[in-house]
Amino acid sequence: MFKKVLVANRGEIAVRIIRTCRDMGIRTVALYDRSDRDSLHVRLADECVQVASRLGYLDSMRIIQIAREVGAEAIHPGYGFLSERSDFVIACEENDIAFVGPPSSVIRSTQDKTELLVRVEQEGIQVPPHSATSFGPNDLPLVFAAAESIGYPLVVKSCVGGRGHSARLVGDAGHLEAATAQVATEACLLFGDRRIYLEAAVIPARLVEVQILGDKYGSLIHLGTRDGSLQRRGVKVIAEAPAPFLSVEQEEDICADALKIGKLLNYCNAGTVEFLVDGKGRHFFTEIKARIQVEHPTTELVTNQDIVRRQLEVASGEKLPLLQKDVRIVGSALLCRINAEDPLHDYMPSPGRLRNFRMPGGPNVRVDAYGYAGCQVPVHYEPLLAKITVWGSDRQECLRRMHRALTDTAIKGVRTNIVLHKSILDSEEFSFGKLGQERLETQSFVPNLSGADLREIAVAAAVGYVLRNKSLRSVTPERLREGWRQSARSF
């Protein structure tokens, strides 16, 4: 096992990796830039090094140089940044530094998405109609031709990104050129690659993910399903494990197809196979995320497995310590992404200094966060501040526990989307699995205030009024106005 690991990331995922390393007796080195100096991952690591480069966390050669200087045997990339850059993995391999993730050959296979879709379809697994090739910045006529062949609506997707920022839903030809330019530009900024491809939109659909783990010796298992259907602008807001509203047969078929796809690629380390399930219950493979995902705590709670620990074990050359028959999925887990943004004002980002940061606790509540009172929330990165994940014996217990956890949470100094989560959990649509991305994108959000909420607002307004209008004149305390005290003063 490694003795020292460099964590090439920031925020809550860096904190999460560092904590598992400490559990395993592994020393850690944290990276930070100027805006992240007082972040929690810097305080928890055994060592820290500032990345002063203009590229910051994306400066692959400087990060490898730092790893060599501090004597780190491995680099854990977390998610985002360098986690799916095959050139970075190759550079690690050339410098005899272990990359805690899939090997470069696997990452290249997952990023050649059009070829992967063809290979998967040849294995008898359904995929959405898609373009036969990827397109560069000068291929706009070919993009239009492919779009006409596929039909609208369709999704313009980055070859190296996911279905988050680097993807756009296009309803007609009039919006195709702008969407293509936006996706290519964002993909270039985030991943250094402008290539895009087209995929038919499956509407309505649920996004079902299968967490897989593999080692270098051919062992490959799955840890069940997750549902990430509730999204805003392609970014998941709430995630659940296992994916609700699937029959036993549907879940078994999806997990079997995920393993088939993983074996097709000789998959090693942690990854997520993503499917779309349409209104008729049919599932379509869309892509593989060759890294750990934001929503992995839900899977960890229902399987009692530490996915980061498994990543480190596999990257160090060990075998997976469990077989498929050893995996037990118990209960249900629900995750809410707490973002520093204001859903009441078009989700405006809300950077600033945290004045108060009280996270929930109690049985079966897990918090992954990088903040604390006095910490600065920077303006340059994703607004993800914390993840609250709860476990319950069933979905209804999960919903009640998440209600309690959100109510226990108090964050001051920045605005958050907690009120959005409360509104979602209160909706009947979410309880019955009918609340999806379309509503969050199109609805003007107004919180549903209960009588208790209104009373609390009234009390706060009254206290604020009194404090604002409080007289600055000196007054005699009530206890000094008693009769015997007044009489004593007359002498």
The per-residue pLDDT for 488 is: 56
- Note whether 4-100 and 129-200 share their fold: no
How many beta carbons lie within 10 A of that of residue 444, not counting itself? Answer: 6
The per-residue pLDDT for 428 is: 80
- Note the CATH number of domain 205-442: 3.30.470.20
For 81-129, list the strands marked E by DSSP.
Answer: 98-99
For 360-468, list the strands marked E by DSSP.
Answer: 365-369, 376-377, 384-392, 410-412
Catalytic residue numbers read 291
How does residue 446 score in pLDDT terms, banded at 50, 70 and 90?
Answer: low
Which sign, positive or negative, has the C-alpha torsion 225, 226, 229, 234? negative
331 sits in which H/E element:
none
How does residue 191 score in pLDDT terms, banded at 50, 70 and 90?
Answer: confident
CA–CA separation, 211 and 223 (whole Å) = 5
Exposed, middle or buried, 407 (CB in 10 Å: 0-12/13-18/19+)? exposed
How does residue 475 score in pLDDT terms, banded at 50, 70 and 90?
Answer: low
The per-residue pLDDT for 454 is: 75
Question: In the predicted model, what is the mean pLDDT of residues 298-305?
Answer: 98
Q: Of 403, 376, 385, 389, whose CA–CA distance to 341 is shortest?
A: 385
CA–CA separation, 115 and 133 (whole Å) = 8
What percentage of the chain has pLDDT greater than the value 70?
91
State yes or no: pLDDT of 225 exceeds 80. yes
Task: Encode pLDDT of 302-351 as tens digits.
Answer: 999 999 999 999 999 999 999 999 999 999 999 999 999 999 888 999 99
Distance, C-alpha 90 to centroid of its chain? 26
CATH 3.30.70.260 correct for 4-100: no
Buried b (16+ CB within 10 A) or exposed e, 294-320: bbbbbbbbbbebbbbebbbbbbeeeeb
Residue with tokens 């014996």: 393
Task: Encode pLDDT of 374-387 as tens digits.
Answer: 999 999 898 999 99
Q: Tell me if 16 sits within 8 A of 10, measured CB to CB.
A: no
Rg of the Cα atoms in the chain = 25
How does residue 370 score in pLDDT terms, banded at 50, 70 and 90?
Answer: very high
Q: Tell me if 7 sits within 8 A of 14, measured CB to CB.
A: yes
183 sits in which H/E element:
helix 176-191
- 50 vs 452: which has the higher pLDDT: 50
How does residue 418 score in pLDDT terms, banded at 50, 70 and 90?
Answer: very high
Exposed, middle or buried, 30 (CB in 10 Å: 0-12/13-18/19+)? buried
How does residue 448 score in pLDDT terms, banded at 50, 70 and 90?
Answer: low
Task: Encode pLDDT of 231-270 as tens digits.
Answer: 888 889 999 999 998 999 999 999 999 999 999 999 999 9
Question: In the predicted model, what is the mean pLDDT of residues 139-143?
Answer: 92
Task: Encode pLDDT of 70-120 as tens digits.
Answer: 999 999 999 989 999 999 999 999 999 999 999 999 999 998 888 999 999
The terminus-to-terminus CA distance of the chain in angstroms comes to 85
Task: Encode pLDDT of 22-75 as tens digits.
Answer: 999 999 999 999 999 989 999 999 999 999 888 999 999 999 999 999 999 999
CA–CA separation, 476 and 489 (whole Å) = 14
The per-residue pLDDT for 480 is: 62
- Note the CATH number of domain 129-200: 3.30.1490.20
Average predicted confidence (pLDDT) for the chain? 90
The per-residue pLDDT for 487 is: 58
Q: Tell me if 110 sits within 8 A of 265, measured CB to CB.
A: yes
Residue extents of the structural domains in the chain: 4-100, 129-200, 205-442
Residue with tokens 């991305």: 437
